[in-house]
């Protein structure tokens, strides 16, 4: 009996180390998100408030930390996301915007298969919305969102978020009232090289 126990212990030690956790330092993820956005009524009778758009967002993320505050309700990790995007507006006129952002992202890891998150950041883009109250050209996208991942399949997840999205040129050209929108995004997230058994 002792010999069997020793053999099992040796076999366990001989097993290769587990794959990297999904949400830890150095682990990566890629995602593709579809979105819809609609302007917020923050100005008095300005066409920027009427903006309606579809969008595609790609994403590559990397963990900056291992899980922090272990055991606390806010246990989670920090990641950095690189996010190129394309927006197509269809109201009040047709046009497009394209660019990219850097985001800081915090995953809350106490929810099991559901991982809430918060994120925010900014970047640079080219705007061609043909609006009366926002000059086309070089702009700065800013955003902040709340969302969640559903770890619904091996090495991947469904993801959704809702948040604030802003485009303006920081006063480089006028008019510059800015496009302020609610942006809803849904998509699929993949964790290359990660284990489905661990966060």
Q: Are 155 and 142 in contact (CB under 8 A)?
A: no
Dump pLDDT digits (tens) for 39-93.
Answer: 999 998 999 999 999 999 999 999 999 999 999 999 999 999 999 999 999 999 9
Dump pLDDT digits (tens) for 139-150.
Answer: 999 999 999 999
* 67 within a domain of the structure (yes/no): yes
Of 26, 37, 19, 34, the C-alpha closest to 188 is: 34
What is the domain count for the chain? 1
* 53 within a domain of the structure (yes/no): yes
pLDDT of residue 194: 58
pLDDT greater than 50 at residue 126: yes
* 182 within a domain of the structure (yes/no): yes
* 6 within a domain of the structure (yes/no): no
Residue numbers of the domain that contains 58: 20-190
Q: Write the CATH number for 46.
A: 2.40.160.20
Say whether 50 sits in a helix, a strand or coil: helix
* 59 within a domain of the structure (yes/no): yes
* 55 within a domain of the structure (yes/no): yes
More confident residue, 196 or 65: 65
Say whether 48 sits in a helix, a strand or coil: helix
Mean pLDDT of 190-196: 72
Q: Are 22 and 195 in contact (CB under 8 A)?
A: yes
* 14 within a domain of the structure (yes/no): no
Separation of alpha carbons 49 and 64, rounded Å: 37
* 133 within a domain of the structure (yes/no): yes
């Amino acid at each position: 009996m002792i010999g069997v126990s020793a053999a099992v212990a040796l076999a366990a030690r001989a097993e290769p180390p587990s794959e990297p956790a999904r949400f830890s330092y150095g682990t990566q993820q890629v995602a593709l998100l579809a979105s819809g956005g609609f302007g917020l009524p923050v100005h008095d009778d300005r066409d920027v408030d009427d903006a309606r758009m579809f969008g595609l967002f790609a994403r590559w993320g990397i963990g900056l930390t291992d899980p922090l505050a272990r055991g606390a309700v806010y246990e989670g990790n920090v990641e950095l996301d690189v996010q190129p995007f394309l927006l197509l507006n269809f109201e009040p006129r047709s046009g497009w915007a394209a660019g990219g952002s850097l985001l800081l992202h915090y995953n809350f890891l106490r929810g099991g298969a559901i991982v809430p998150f918060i994120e925010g950041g900014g970047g640079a883009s080219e705007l061609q919305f043909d609006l009366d109250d926002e000059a086309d050209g070089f702009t700065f996208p800013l955003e902040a969102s709340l969302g969640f991942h559903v770890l619904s399949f091996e090495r991947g997840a469904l993801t959704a978020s809702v948040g604030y999205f802003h485009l303006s040129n920081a006063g480089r050209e006028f008019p510059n009232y800015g496009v302020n929108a609610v942006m809803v995004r849904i998509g699929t997230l993949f964790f290359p090289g990660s284990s489905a058994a661990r966060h």
